[in-house]
Amino acid sequence: MRASFVRTTIGLLVAASGLAAQPTRVSETTRVTVNGIGSFRIGTSVGQARRATGLELVPEHAPLNELDCYYVQPRSGLRNIRLMVTDGHISRIDISNPNIRTLSGARIGMTEAEILRLYRGQVEATPHKYDPTGHYLTVYPRSPRRVVFETDGRVVKNYRIGTVPEIGYVEGCS
């Protein structure tokens, strides 16, 4: 009973101090993992992501309903990042900001050879659907999620992280 009282008291003190509800800043220096970027977590709702980051997330196009596939992005602060929402939850994050790196250090502008070295033994290269010289370099980490780097045949132009099957959608939601 005493241990329960102590846990409850500590929990109430943390909540009352505001520490439990403070948004976590997400910036260009926040590293990307297969789970998300900072408080933008794969599997969370838009509302949860909004509360966790303190950033206003606006839809690119108004969805017909919450279960449609659509994109949201921060209104201000973090540029060139799009969050795909399917079935009401973030399923994929598309990154075209050259300053945002993965936890391993991968970024836009790296060469295909650098990506292959960085993720040695975890990458499958497939032809790009629209660029005859380009590739999709899909990283298969020890996770059900994936990272896909799009290249022009030489360097990374953008990348995305997310769940299957959404990670493989070449044209976003359409």
What's the one-letter identity of residue 20?
A: A
Q: What is the pLDDT of residue 143?
A: 87
Q: What is the pLDDT of residue 138?
A: 98
pLDDT band for 8, please (50, 70, 90 cuts).
Answer: very low
DSSP per position, 40-71: EETT-BHHHHHHHH---EEESS--SSTTS-EE
Parse the chain into domains and list their residue ranges.
32-167
Could you tell me the pTM of the whole model? 0.84
DSSP code of residue 23: P
Indicate the average pLDDT of the chain: 86
**Rounded to an integer, what distance in angstroms lies between the CA atom of residue 14 and that of residue 85?**
32
- The arithmetic mean of pLDDT across residues 106-128, rounded, is 97
Lowest mean per-residue pLDDT among 69-78, 123-132, 150-159, 160-169: 69-78
pLDDT band for 23, please (50, 70, 90 cuts).
Answer: low
Q: What is the CATH number of domain 32-167?
A: 3.40.33.10
